[in-house]
């Protein structure tokens, strides 16, 4: 069973891949199932780009390809929704019960963008990381309309720093991550392993294997794998290696979703 659960089509402002190209490439790779997870970021603070999806159009387009390729691949209705403490009610309303799978992601913190660096203004590296984690904790304590939290330690990718340390090395960050993981587990939610993370230091997905180990030790079971592809070449990038490492940690299954319900598959 092979699946990629984080894929962006041209419904995301930062991808030009059509859904047809995405589906065709996934079939060519021999995948049994994919989740298309385009961006929906409500009140995104970078005005130069808009990550909002017309849900009706989007879901209709997915249905078209579900039909077209029904004998070759299962295509799930996913979304990657940008979470922030002040828009949670709007996120809930947007999700409704219309998706199979929802990645809850943090692309901003304290109403400032991570990608363009605004959030880091005035903070030292660790101050920024700690503030980011506090804001993630606040959200997961108050919101559970998602299936998995996307690229949990993405903060390491951004900011203009010379090193990208493992967040668990810092005591305060360790405690916050542990609390975040406990809330996720207690609420029957999961984590994604995002293989675009190898672009940072070549060694780890997002979150890092150390964080995944802690998740496992705390009893975390719901785990999806996704490449976060914005083009056909990245689909399933580093999956074999990642699954090998996950098994070393102790994980023996990965998760897919249908109507927001998890389904487990032996790995």
Residues that bind Zn ion (CB under 5 A): 80, 105, 228
Contacts (Cβ under 8 Å, ≥6 apart) of 146: 81, 83, 95, 102, 103, 104, 189
Tell me 206's DSSP state: B
Residue 229 Cβ, how far from Zn ion at the closest point, in Å? 9
CB nearer to Zn ion: pick between 68 and 157: 157
User: For residue 147, which of 194, 79, 195, 205 has the smallest C-alpha distance?
Assistant: 79
Both tokens assigned to 159: 């900011």
Q: Which is nearer to Zn ion, 80 or 153 (CB)?
A: 80
The least CB distance from residue 70 to Zn ion, in Å, is 25
Tell me whether residue 149 or residue 246 sits nearer to Zn ion (CB atom): 149
Q: Give the shortest CB-44-to-Zn ion separation in angstroms.
A: 12
Cα 170 from chain centroid (whole Å):
23
CA-closest candidate to residue 47, choices 125, 130, 116: 116
- By C-beta, is 85 or 250 nearer to Zn ion? 85
Burial label for 7, CB within 10 Å (0-12, 13-18, 19+), is: buried
Instruction: Compute the least distance from the CB of residue 92 to Zn ion, in Å.
Output: 19
Closer CB to Zn ion, 184 or 249, in the complex:
184
């Amino acid at each position: 069973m092979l699946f990629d659960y984080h894929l962006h089509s041209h419904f995301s402002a930062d991808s030009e891949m059509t859904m047809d190209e995405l589906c065709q490439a996934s079939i060519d790779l021999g995948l049994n199932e994919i989740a298309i997870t385009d961006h929906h970021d409500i009140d995104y603070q970078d005005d130069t780009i808009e990550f909002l999806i017309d849900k009706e159009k989007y879901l209709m387009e997915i249905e078209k390809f579900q039909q077209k390729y029904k004998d070759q691949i299962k295509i799930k209705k996913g979304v990657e929704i940008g979470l922030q403490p002040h828009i949670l009610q709007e996120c809930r309303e947007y999700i409704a019960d219309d998706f199979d799978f929802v990645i809850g992601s943090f692309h901003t913190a304290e109403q400032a963008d991570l990608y363009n660096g605004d959030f880091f203004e005035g903070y030292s590296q660790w101050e920024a990381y700690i503030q980011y984690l506090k804001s993630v904790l606040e959200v997961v304590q108050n919101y559970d309309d998602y299936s998995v939290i996307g690229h949990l330690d993405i903060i390491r990718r951004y900011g203009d720093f010379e090193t990208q340390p493992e967040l668990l090395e810092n005591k305060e960050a360790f405690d916050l991550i542990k609390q975040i993981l406990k809330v996720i587990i207690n609420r029957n939610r999961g984590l994604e392993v995002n293989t675009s993370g190898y672009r940072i230091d070549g060694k780890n997905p997002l979150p890092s294997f150390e964080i995944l180990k802690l998740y496992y030790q705390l009893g975390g079971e719901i785990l999806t794998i996704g490449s976060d592809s914005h083009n056909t070449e990245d689909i399933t990038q580093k999956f074999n290696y990642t699954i090998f490492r996950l098994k070393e940690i102790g994980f023996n299954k990965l998760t897919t979703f249908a109507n927001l319900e998890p389904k487990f598959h032996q790995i």
